Structure 1
Amino acid sequence: MTISLRVAVAQPDCTARDVAANARAHAALVRRAADARVVVFPEMSLTGYELDAPALAPDDPRLAPLVEACAATGALALAGAPVGPGPGKHIGVLAVDGAGARVAYRKMFVGGAEAEHMTPGAEPAVVEVDGVRLGLAVCKDTGVPEQAARTAALGIHAYLAGVLDHADELHVQDERARRIVADHGVWVAFASFAAPTGFGFADAGGRSRIWAPDGRVVAAAGPRPGDLAIHTIECAG
């Protein structure tokens, strides 16, 4: 039996620390990708790459436009944000649908300035949508074979990540995606930040992509905020 899932990788515009404005930008892209069942957003997409931004609670009322867009389209949005709880703060992935939001994953491998502000997550995570199992990651995670292996060991059809790279570093995303495909034989989708953002990323590269299990790029967004790409992934059920 073959199961399929329509997946989008999206590049919202971003205003530093303005969760309300950013949630509206996310909601607009969810509505534009109306036939996508899952919409993946970049690392820290709801606040910008502002490592000193406060943790965002899943029940924050500023997320209401995104929840409403997911309710209207039937989509699950995977959005990036700093999250709690506890004394440590994490780079997280919020899973948002028509019923609300929850923390679905905390980035396991932090680096550079992140280590001064963020606590690493402890374990890999999977979300399941319509029978398709989606492994989660954030940026540096994608370059750590251990993270991909532990995630794949949970039984996944696809590996989804929100990422952030300079425009001249996009080849790194391609190298990492092709390694994950080769090692684990799964679909890979990276949502890549396109808007200028904090901590030196004035030239975020965009060009979000989806790779098939044979290594081909089957969908690609452009370099600008507001761009997105959509593809139906098909998996053995």
Structure 2
Amino acid sequence: MEDCLRIAVAQIPVTTDARANGREIRAAMRAAAGAGARLIQFPEGAASGYPSGAAKAMLAGWAVDWAALREELEEIAALAAELSLWTVVGSSHALTAPNRPHNSLYVISDTGRLVARYDKRLLSFSELADWYAPGAEPLVFEVDGFRFGCALCIEIQFPEIFVEYARLGIDCLLLSSFSRDPMFAIQVQGHAACNAYWIGFAVPAQCGDAASSGLAGPDGRWIAQAPQAATRLLS
């Protein structure tokens, strides 16, 4: 096991255009690899888009371009292999009709394989009523001997999620969000300190004015945090 691991936390613009999202993701991946990162974390819905704010009006009945999304994810996976970079990216995940999609985090290894998927378990009312189907299980995966867990957005409101991951022996929780709630950044610090592990917190650039992306240490202090309302890569 290595005694350290460099993580990049991306704060990129996220749209409902999978092609545009894919370009932003790959640019951030190249920057992260250039900075020596071993893993990069992206926001909720980074690849597919997320039905928040103005996007809601565009998603009458759910309007993800699944074919484009699949192609973009394949390119992201290929680049992960090229760069030897673990990549954790938020995306909708299609299920067989008439089931709604999952709101997920894809874990792509440094060989370009999709090795795991976390499906958001605790959904908001709007998500559960109109957009998504809930997941059922926590996810733990290892990179160079370090154990990572995954969570999404509103799950930050449920301490039991964070306690569960502490019992599973993780070193770092990757929490990706599409939220402009300033309390989320404060809660990240509290959960990190209470559970004595690192937390990577990734939000889109358009949400960074309220609570920007960052990495909190086991003492609850920010190790690195993006400037507010900025497109930024932390590494």
Measured against the shorter chain, the TM-score band is: 0.7 to 0.9
2:123 to 104, 107, 110: 110
1:91 to 103, 112, 116: 103
2:161 to 136, 147, 150: 147
Say whether the 8 Å CA contact 1:13–1:22 is kept in structure 2. Answer: yes
Q: Distance in 1 between matches of 2:90 and 2:47?
A: 6
For residue 83 of structure 1, report the CA deviation from its aligned partner: 1.0
Whichever residue aligns with residue 49 of structure 2, its letter is G
3-state DSSP of counterpart to 2:205:
coil
Aligned to 1:221: 226
Which is bigger in relative contact order (C-alpha 8 A, separation at least 6)?
Answer: 1
Is 1:65 aligned to residue 65 of structure 2? no
Unpaired runs of 5+ residues, structure 1, are 197-202, 231-237
Q: CA 1:33–1:229 in 2, change beyond 3 Å: closer, same or farther?
A: same
Deviates more, 1:179-188 or 1:22-31: 179-188
For residue 69 of structure 1, report the CA deviation from its aligned partner: 2.5
Q: CA 1:53–1:93 in 2, change beyond 3 Å: closer, same or farther?
A: farther
Q: Distance in 1 between matches of 2:151 and 2:170?
A: 13
Aligned to 1:209: 214
Structure with more of its chain in strand, by fraction: 1
Aligned to 1:76: 86
Whichever residue aligns with residue 40 of structure 2, its letter is V
Deviates more, 1:69-78 or 1:95-104: 95-104
Is 1:43 aligned to residue 48 of structure 2? no
Q: Distance in 2 between matches of 1:48 and 1:134?
A: 24
Q: Distance in 2 between matches of 1:53 and 1:149?
A: 36
2:185 to 174, 192, 195: 174
Q: Distance in 2 between matches of 1:56 and 1:223?
A: 32
Structure with more of its chain in helix, by fraction: 2
Say whether the 8 Å CA contact 1:210–1:219 is kept in structure 2. Answer: yes
3-state DSSP of counterpart to 1:91:
strand
Say whether the 8 Å CA contact 2:79–2:112 is kept in structure 1. Answer: no
Whichever residue aligns with residue 47 of structure 2, its letter is L
Q: Distance in 1 between matches of 2:116 and 2:94?
A: 9
Say whether the 8 Å CA contact 1:148–1:180 is kept in structure 2. Answer: yes
Say whether the 8 Å CA contact 2:184–2:211 is kept in structure 1. Answer: no
The normalised TM-score by structure 2 is 0.84
For residue 25 of structure 1, report the CA deviation from its aligned partner: 1.0
Q: Distance in 2 between matches of 1:103 and 1:204?
A: 31
The normalised TM-score by structure 1 is 0.83
Is 1:165 aligned to residue 179 of structure 2? yes
CA RMSD of aligned residues (A): 2.3
For residue 47 of structure 1, report the CA deviation from its aligned partner: 1.9
